[in-house]
Structure 1
Amino acid sequence: MEQTKGSGRTLAGEAYAAIRQEIRSGAFKPGDRLRFTDLRALCGMSVTPVREALARLTAEGFTVLDDHRGYSVARLSLDELRDVTATRQLCEGEALRLSVLKGDADWEGRVLAAHHLMARIPQAREDIPSAMREDWEARHAAFHAALISACGSPSLLEICGKLFSRADRYRRLAVSLEGAARDVTGEHRRLMERALARDADGAAEALREHYGRTAAALESFFKG
């Protein structure tokens, strides 16, 4: 019995990852209806784990449930962008400030290593310059996680992780709009330098500006 339950949870997790990746990559676009037959074919599994995955995705804001239409991909909106950005600036800015104050040599090593790995590969795909490489995105997430990893609050880290995921689709859209106009590499380097220089307030402010630039790039898109 326990083995069946464990397998079910694993299948639901696999379905969650597969569907979420399709949403993140744009294969499933905002507003697209998600049909169980298509999702079962995508995931190669029965309805139950797919339904569990959709419930989790809905709780995290990636999908929505309509009593008449079923599940669909959550639409992007200016109101959500502003809300997520402001909350990230508040929560992650404080998490970074605390990490700079509390972080030890191991934390410094994590930040340096994560930045080094991220900086070693280009952000954009060669075939689609307006899209991010998945391996860069993974290293980018690891860098931001390393920055705040010494804040000392598991609850705050959990909140920041969820907000980072919520902002993912907006970040990907911003990259397609910004092109080469923004020096993201320089922004990340400044974040690392201020953090390692133990400039807690400066690092937090650099992070707030970093996220603010992404939001600013999308403001005109939504208003237009």
Structure 2
Amino acid sequence: MEQKKAGGRTLAGDAYEAIRQAIRTGAVKPGDRLRFADLQALCGMSVTPVREALARLTAEGFTVLDDHRGYSVASLSLAELRDITATRQLCEGEALRLSVLRGDADWEGRVIAAHHLMARIPQAREDIPSAMREDWEARHSVFHAALISACGSPSLLEICGKLFSRADRYRRLSVSLVGATRDVTGEHRRLMELALARDAEGAAAALRDHYGRTAAALEGFFTT
């Protein structure tokens, strides 16, 4: 039985968030072996919640389990990037199309508010321009979630949420690429404008292009 904390949280859930954040931020690198003693120290917990967290992270594709080496951080690959991108374009493109057709005034308000908060801060850190700001990434996630929130399908939203999370490490890597030139701010503004103008097909196409640009920026990283 999972040990519960105040507010309904569990130790395993907290361990999951701590380990996932270490993977997302690059504190542990793709391919790094994950030793239980190190993870227990990171999380400040016993081995049981850490083991439960690793099982969940493995199911979601963040870590892998080898019978001989134990757990390690999942590697990044061009094949996975292409697969995640194509699936996101398919699922999130349709979720956005449906949201534009079905969304009401409350949905419009969520989109506008989320975009406003995201646009108020820069994407990159001032001290490390090649690194993404955590507060921007949080607002970025809320914006994309708001765009598709009126699609009417909880199952589709769940799939899109998992795909967004899986794409996180690739998204962060794309920000760090030297010479990468994109008007990400303009792309997000365009998505909002098309959605609010009720251009369902145009918004879906713009979202697919938005994700395709990230993948294209990374193609060279994996092939050079």
Which interval holds the TM-score relative to the shorter structure? Answer: over 0.9
2:152 match: secondary structure: coil
Deviations 1:30-66 (A, max 9, x none): 0000000000000000000000000000000000000
Are the equivalent residues in 1 in contact too, given 2:78–2:219 (CA < 8 A)? yes
Query: Given the alignment of the two structures, is residue 6 of structure 1 paired with residue 4 of structure 2, yes or no?
Result: yes
Matches within 5 A, 1:178-193: 181-193=181-193
How many matched pairs? 222
Are the equivalent residues in 2 in contact too, given 1:178–1:217 (CA < 8 A)? no
Query: Given the alignment of the two structures, is residue 217 of structure 1 paired with residue 202 of structure 2, yes or no?
Result: no
- Superposed displacement of residue 156, structure 1: 0.0
2:87 match: secondary structure: helix
Deviations 1:104-136 (A, max 9, x none): 000000000000000000100011100110000
Cross-structure match for 1:56: 56
TM-score (norm 2): 0.97
Cross-structure match for 1:104: 104
Are the equivalent residues in 1 in contact too, given 2:84–2:163 (CA < 8 A)? yes
Query: Given the alignment of the two structures, is residue 147 of structure 1 paired with residue 130 of structure 2, yes or no?
Result: no
Segments of 4+ moved more than 2 angstroms: 4-9
1:6 match: secondary structure: coil
Are the equivalent residues in 2 in contact too, given 1:130–1:179 (CA < 8 A)? no
Are the equivalent residues in 2 in contact too, given 1:94–1:204 (CA < 8 A)? yes
1:81 match: secondary structure: helix
Gap change, CA 1:178 and 1:142, over 3 Å in 2: farther
| Distance (Å, rounded) in 2 between the aligned partners of 1:79 and 1:59 | 18
Cross-structure match for 1:23: 23
Cross-structure match for 2:203: 203
Cross-structure match for 1:115: 115
- Superposed displacement of residue 9, structure 1: 6.3
- Superposed displacement of residue 180, structure 1: 5.8
TM-score (norm 1): 0.97
Gap change, CA 1:125 and 1:179, over 3 Å in 2: farther
1:32 match: secondary structure: coil
List alignment gaps of at least 5 residues for structure 2: none
- Superposed displacement of residue 179, structure 1: 5.1
Are the equivalent residues in 1 in contact too, given 2:3–2:11 (CA < 8 A)? no
Cross-structure match for 1:128: 128
Cross-structure match for 1:88: 88
Query: Given the alignment of the two structures, is residue 46 of structure 1 paired with residue 46 of structure 2, yes or no?
Result: yes
| Distance (Å, rounded) in 2 between the aligned partners of 1:133 and 1:122 | 8
| Distance (Å, rounded) in 1 between the aligned partners of 2:209 and 2:190 | 11
Give the CA RMSD over aligned residues: 1.3
| Distance (Å, rounded) in 1 between the aligned partners of 2:3 and 2:220 | 48
Flag the structure with higher helix content. 1
Are the equivalent residues in 2 in contact too, given 1:9–1:49 (CA < 8 A)? no
| Distance (Å, rounded) in 2 between the aligned partners of 1:180 and 1:87 | 24
- Superposed displacement of residue 14, structure 1: 0.4
List alignment gaps of at least 5 residues for structure 1: none
- Superposed displacement of residue 200, structure 1: 0.1
Gap change, CA 1:178 and 1:209, over 3 Å in 2: farther
